[in-house]
Amino acid sequence: MTDQNGRITDFLPGSANSEIFELTYFTANYFKKSNTKSFYPFIEVVFQISDKHYYHVPITLQPMVIRFTGGTR
């Protein structure tokens, strides 16, 4: 679960951060709450972290558009 700002503040605390991860965003219910039709019922993002840096996985979502701007640290 994300916080009110869309962030996961305790993502695998204590992890060595050297694995492949998958985030699944369930978007259908999000849009359904505002009575908006959406093309994407969910979004899966797979990424690999091989160090202990902080990473930002930005996603811009609209009912018919998803934009990934790349992971940054």
Which pLDDT value is given to residue 55?
Answer: 78
Q: Beta strands 42-48 and 59-62: pairing type?
A: unpaired
CB 59 within 8 A of CB 45: yes
Residue at token pair 């679960």: 1
How far is Cα 11 from Cα 17, in angstroms, rounded to an integer? 10
User: pTM (2 decimals)?
Assistant: 0.66
- What backbone phi and psi angles, to 5 degrees, belong to 26? -90, 100
| Pair of tokens at residue 71 | 């992971």
Which pLDDT value is given to residue 35?
Answer: 95
Per-residue pLDDT of the chain (73 residues; tens, 9 = 90+): 778 887 777 766 665 556 888 889 899 998 999 999 999 999 998 888 877 777 788 888 899 998 887 666 6
Which pLDDT value is given to residue 68?
Answer: 83
Radius of gyration of the chain (CA): 14
Which pLDDT value is given to residue 13?
Answer: 62
